Amino acid sequence: MSRYSKDWNKIACAIKQKADWKCSQCGADFKNKSSRGSCLQVHHWNRIPEDNRPENLVALCNICHLKYHRGGKSNILIGQLSLNL
Ligand SMILES: [Zn+2]
Ligand SMILES: [Zn+2]
């Protein structure tokens, strides 16, 4: 947690707003959803929490986010594809 910058909440909020409060992976809409076990989170493509460049950040629901961090399925290719969006 200490690796995250002080204004991380602000940064993450801006990313979510930019993503229109939708998971960029599955499209789950969190605009009108209260926390019902799922929430929108912000993921670092390169997994470096200090790297808060907008192109390194993506809004993911906690389910998709978990998938990225589990089993090593996330590779650089997926990240690069999304960076071009
Ligand atoms: Zn999702
Ligand atoms: Zn992540």
The alpha carbon of 67 and the centre of ligand 1 are apart by a number of angstroms equal to 9
pLDDT over 60 at 9, yes or no? yes
Tokens of 57: 């950040």
pLDDT over 60 at 41, yes or no? yes
pLDDT over 50 at 72, yes or no? yes
Ion ligand 1: residues, CB within 5 A, are 23, 25-26, 28, 61, 64
Count CB-CB contacts under 10 A for residue 21: 15
Q: What is the pLDDT of residue 36?
A: 62
What gap in Å lies between CA 65 and CA 9, rounded to an integer? 17
Q: Is 10 exposed, middle or buried (0-12, 13-18, 19+ CB in 10 A)?
A: exposed
Question: Assign residue 53 a region: left if phi > 0, alpha if psi is -120 to 50, beta otherwise?
Answer: beta
Residues in the chain: 85
pLDDT over 50 at 76, yes or no? no
